[in-house]
Structure 1
C-alpha cells in the first residue's frame, strides 16, 4: 500500500510538473520556515494548498503539526480535560451552546471547541478523561491570545474509541506534579502542583463584561523550587475558601497566564481544578543573609537580619473593591544599605507597638522583590513570615560626631547620613498634627491602652530643601527638632499669624544635619528625617556658591 507521504508527492508532481527533488527541497524549506515544528506530510499538504491543489482526503497529523492554514484535519489523541458547556446569544438573538475539551497526544495539547449540535458529544458516557478520540475535518484557528485551537464545524466528526487506532501509541495520561521553577512559558499545558499556601489575598468583587457580578481571589503558592501566584475566577473562587495559609496542598489542572503589568507568569484555576490537603510537608531551605546589602540580587522568600533605622506611621488605604486596609512601612539596614519592609492588615498595629528604633531584628520567610517604581528591592511581610527583636543589641545611630560627611548626590540608598549645606527653600507651610503624648506617634495610630488615657498633644513638621555643592535634598524637621529650628514651642507657633515668615529668615543659613533617609514614592527622591542639626560657618568658596544660588532664587 502506498504511503501517505508518497501519495502527496505524486499528486503534487502530477498537478504542478515539479520534479521529486524540487518537491523535497520545497518540503525542507517549509519545515525550516516553521522551525521544524511540522511533519513531512504536513509540509507537503501546505505546499499543495499554496499551489492551488485541493487534496480531498483528510490529513492525519500530530498536534504539533497543526497550522492555521489547515482545514481538513484528522487527529487522534486522548481526552485530557473536559470543561462545562456554556451558552451564548448569537447575532439573531438565538440561544447557542459550545463546549471545550483538551486533546492530548505525544506532541502536546490543543483546545477543541464543539459548537451547537456537537455538544451532544459531552452527553455520551464514554466521553471522559483518557477516552481515545478520532477527529475528522476540524478547522484550525488562532484564539485571541494567538494560540491555535480546533473548531468542530458542520462537516466535522468525532469518533470515540475508534477501531483504526493503536492504543499503545497513545499512553494513558497520568497526572504529573510539576515544580514551580519548571513553569517558564504560557505554553505549558495543564499543570498540577504540590506545595504550601503562603498567603491568601482578600476576595474581590468585580463586574463582568455582561454586567454580572463575580468574584476573584488569589493565593501565593510555594514549593521547594520557588513561588507563584494562583488566581481563582468566578465560581472557582469557592474552591479555596476552606483552606488557610501554611496549608500543604495538592492543586491540579491549572493553566498558565502572563501578567501584562509585571510580565510575570501566573497560574489560573480552571473548572477542572481540584484542591486537596497534601500529606507531604513542604520543607524549603532559605538562604540566610547577615547583611541587608547582600539582598540586592535576591527575588523570593529569604531570611535576613539588620537594625531598625526608621519606622513610619500606619497608613490607612482603600482598595479598588472599596475595602479598607492598613499598612506599615519600616526600614532595616546595615552599614551600607537599608531595605523597606511592609506589613499589611491588622498585623501592622501589633508590630507598630513593639518595633523600636536601633534594635537588631531577624526576619524569616520574608518576600524580597524588585520594585520598578522605586528602582530598588523591598520586602513584604507575609502570613508565613516571622520576626524576632533582639532588644539587648542596639545600634548607636545618632553618634553624629563620629559619622563622616556624605555629599547629597551620593545619597542613593536608605540609611543614616550626615550632610552639610545651606537652607535653600521652605517647601510648604508648617504642618500641625495630633500626637500621643507618651510615644509621639500619631494619636490615631497609637494603640497602647494606657496611652489612650492621656490627652493628645500638638506637634509640627517643617519641610525644607538643603543644598550643597553637589545636589539638593528635601528634609523634615519633626516635633522637638522643629521647635529647636524655630526656637519656639509648638503652642506659641500656632498662635502666630503667618509663622512661615520666621522660616524665610533661615534661608541661606549654613547647617549640618544627621538622620535617616526615606524614599518618597511620589517624587521618586530620597528625603532626610532630621534627628540632629546645628548651624555652622563654611569656607569662603561655599559661601560664594550659597550667595549665587540664593540671589537666583530671590530673583
Structure 2
C-alpha cells in the first residue's frame, strides 16, 4: 500500500491541519501503540476511502481529486499542451525561466508550472505523452486549481498505459470532446454573435469583451473574445476556427479565445422590421420595431458572478401588442431624452424568449450597442393617455387598477432614511414621505436610490406607474420596477385647500399661513397612559392614570400656539414630530427645555396643515405638518389659485 497516495485521497476531504490533528488524536488514544501509517489507514477506513489498490496502480489518484493546498501530489496524465520557455529577470538581476504543461485524464485537466531547472524536465517530451508527476503541490490561481513544481518534483514518461483512461490529443476537436481546463482548436459555425461591451478594470483602464455561440455537428459552446480580439467583426453564419482554453461556464462549457480565423464569411441578412405580434417567429434574431412607449422603468443594478450591470427597461406598444425592451450598461443613455407617449423606432434589438412561473412563453427584446431610438410622430400606434388619479380615489380602486397608478401630490411630511440588511448581505435604504392633493393624502414608500432623492417638504412630486399596497392600517403607494418619481416636474402644480383663518369651517382639512403671536404656558412634554392614552399625573414620584393606576407613561411633545394671518387668529395644537420640527429641537433636548424655546417662535411665519376642530365655542386647528415659509413656493401657489 502506498500510504502517501492514501494520504492524498484523504486530503481531498479535509485540510492538512485537520488530518494532522486526527492522526495525533488517534495515536494518543492508542497510547502510542500505533504509528502514523496505521492512523492514516484508520482515518481512510472511517471516510470510506478504499485501500484495495496496487502500489503500481497507474490511476490511483485522479486529477479531479486535487484540491487547494495539497503537497506531495502524485498523478498520471496525458500532456495536452507544452508552452515555450519564457525567461524573466529577478529583482537581484539574475535570470529565471518558466514554462508550463497541461496534463489530463478522463476526470479533468490541470496546469503544472515549471520553474527554472524544472522547466528542463519536459525537454524530451511532447504532446500526447503520458507521464507520472510526483512531489508537486497545488494552489489556487485566478480561481483555478493549479500545480506547482517543488524542489523534489519528478516527471517520468510512462510507456505502458491504458489509453481509455486519457483523452485523445487531436489537432482539432469536436465540441462534444471538450473538457474543462484543456487547450483546444475547434471549428464551427457562428449561430449567435453578441455586441461588444466595455467595463472598468480595477486599475482604472477599460476592458472590452464580446461573446458568441459556436456550433458543430456534435454540440454548441460559448466563446469569449477579450480586448483587441473583441474588435473582430463576426456575424451569424460565419465559419471560423478558434484556438483557446476551455473552462466551466455558468451554463456549460466556455472557451476563452486566443486566436480566431474566419474561414468563410456568412451572408449578412438584412435586419427585418416586424410587428410586435410577429416576434415569436424571430427568436434569437435581430429586428427593428416601432410603436409608442407606455412605460419607462427606473435604472436598477443586476448582479452577475463577475460583474454588476445597470439596466433600464421600457414597454413598447404597437397596434398588434406590447413588448418589454431592456437597455444594459451604457445603452441606457439612449433613454435620456425619451418619455412615456413618445412614438419611436428602435433598431437592432435581439429577440429573447423565457418561460414564466406558469410555463407560458414570454417574448422580450434586448437593445444592442448599435441600437438607436428614433422619434417619429408619424408612426401609427395606439394613442397614449396618462391616467392621472386623485389621491383620495386611490383608496377605492379595484385590485387591477391599483397596480398602475400615476398621481401628483405635494410633499407634506418627510421621514428619516432607514437602512436594513437584505438576505444577500447587502444594505438597503427606505424612506417614507406623505403627499397630498386637494382630495386627501397618502404615504409613499421610497427605496434605495429613490430614498436618497433631494426632496423637501412643499415640493411637488409626480409618481408615474406606481402601485398601491394595502398594509392593513394603511394603504401605501410604492414605486415598483416600472414606476418612477419626478421631483418638481415642470408645469405641474397641485391644488391645495389653502384658506384664510376667517374662512375655516369645522371638520375640514386645510392649510393656513400665519404668524405665531402667542403660546400657552404649559409643559413641553405630555405624559400619557400607554393603555388608554389619557394623561398620567405625577404623584409622589410615580405616574398615575385615573383609569389604569400606576403606569410607565408615554412621552409626547406638545405645544399650543396662537397663529394670526390678518383675517383672524386661531389656536394651533402641535404634537410629537411637529413640535420637534417647528422648534428645530429633537425630543431628547425638548425634555430638558423651558418655554424660552417657544418664545423664539413669536413673530415667525409658518405654513400649517391640519384638521379644523371645535373646542367649546371656538375653532381649533390640529396641526398635522408644519414648514417654514418659502416665498418662491408661495408665489407659485398663489399664481395657481
* Normalised TM-score (structure 2): 0.44
The structure whose Rg is larger is: 2
Whose strand fraction is larger, Structure 1's or Structure 2's?
2
- Greater helix proportion: 1
Give the TM-score, by structure 1 length: 0.50
